[in-house]
Amino acid sequence: MKELTNGNITHINEYTKRLCQIQTDMIARLEELKPIHSKLERQIQEVLHLLEFEMLNAPQRAKAVKRLTDLRKERRVVKQEIYDINQALKTFTFHADKQPKWEYQMQYTYSTDTVKAIFGEESGE
């Protein structure tokens, strides 16, 4: 095992500071995304109500459906980013004033294709 020296400790402290900054940035981004997500939800509901309760001709209805599709795609992108940030935040939590605390170990799940490509088609290879 490698012995810790002052240089290594300084190096570890630098990485810890960087990870703390990344965590802070992710939390800030999450706060930015929440109102965007809410706004998209409201807009989707407005279009759904418009389609349900208003008498629209065919071109108007087509435009409304197109708008609904675009809003749902936008919402999916935002929801995916929120999910990704939440998963990353679950993986680790750093406190700048304390030692890093690992709450969860990162777990990797490999696809069947990856396993087959590395270990061969049969388990004996």
The structural domain count of the chain equals 1
Instruction: Tell me the whole-structure pTM to 2 decimals.
Output: 0.64
Assess if residue 44 is contained within a domain. Answer: yes
Assess if residue 64 is contained within a domain. Answer: yes
Assess if residue 114 is contained within a domain. Answer: yes
Q: What's the whole-number mean pLDDT along residues 36-50? A: 93
Assess if residue 49 is contained within a domain. Answer: yes
Assess if residue 82 is contained within a domain. Answer: yes
Higher pLDDT, 58 or 14: 58
Q: Which domain holds residue 36?
A: 6-119
What is the per-residue pLDDT across 63-73, written as a single tens digit (0 to 9) for each?
999 999 999 99
| Rounded-to-10 torsion of CA 67, 69, 74, 77 | 180
**C-alpha atoms less than 13 angstroms from C-alpha of 42 in its C-beta half-sphere:** 6
Assess if residue 125 is contained within a domain. Answer: no
